[in-house]
Copies of this chain bind each other. A is one copy, B any other.
Amino acid sequence: MTELEQYIKSYFGVVNSDDLKKIVSLFKLTSIKKGAFLLKAGKHCNNLSFVQLGLLRMFISTDEKEITQWISTKGYFTTDLSSFVFETTSRISIQALTDTEVYSVTKTDYKKIGELVPKWYELEKLFIIRCFIILEERIFSHLSMTAEERYDYFFENNRELFNQVPLQYIASMLGMTPETFSRIRKRKLL
């Protein structure tokens, strides 16, 4: 069983292996070189992608700086949900931090999943609710924690990331400057 199948099985709860095969067959493997974009702000996001290998950074450019919203790792989905679903132009860019491989499904093909698997809408809904809850949690971290507490919490749950991506991106994602991040990090070593 591929990781994508495994993921869909565990997160969406699809257990019938014929259904699984049908779903997975709609996804196409694509390679993205380090530094290349899976999605550029201003374009339409036409794909939902599963990261098979590598790392991707989702960010929003403002006048002054780039705000990293999320880092997508192996074994998770990535897309600009807003653009993918409502077919608006994307504010978000998604760029590969390393050579990356993704299984992508176009919006057109994605719709077919619902036709193939009757229970899909329900599963999909539950999946999105889980994503919603993660965001709620993240907002709570900004309302109730200091930069250092957010650092600690993220470090505990994402240790591996710290030696895989430029730390400035993690800093941005946690809502602090690279300098603050660096100082907090130093404190932990002492």
Chain A residues near B (Cβ < 8 Å): 60, 62, 65, 67, 69, 81-82, 85-86, 121-122, 124-126, 128-129, 131-133, 135-136, 138-140, 142-144, 172-173, 175
Copies per assembly:
2
Q: List 21 A-B contacts (CB under 8 A).
A: A60-B140, A60-B144, A62-B144, A67-B140, A67-B143, A69-B140, A69-B143, A82-B133, A82-B136, A121-B121, A124-B125, A125-B125, A125-B128, A131-B132, A132-B132, A132-B135, A135-B136, A135-B139, A139-B142, A142-B142, A142-B175
> What are the residues of chain B within 8 A of A125 when measuring CB–CB?
121, 124-125, 128
Complex-state Cα separation, A67 to B140, whole angstroms: 8
Set B62, B81, B129, B144: member contacting A81, Cβ < 8 A: B129
Min CB–CB distance A14 → chain B (angstroms): 15
Known contacts A121-B125, A128-B129, A135-B135; is A143 also within 8 Å of B175 by CB? yes
Given A125-B121, A128-B125, A139 contacting B85 (CB threshold 8 A): no
Q: Which residues of B contact A133 (CB under 8 A)?
A: 81-82
- A sample of 6 more A-B contacts (CB under 8 A), given A85-B129, A143-B172, is A60-B140, A67-B140, A69-B140, A128-B129, A131-B132, A139-B142
Contacts of A67 in B (CB 8 A): 140, 143-144
> Once bound together, how far apart are the Cα atoms of A60 and B126, in whole Å?
23
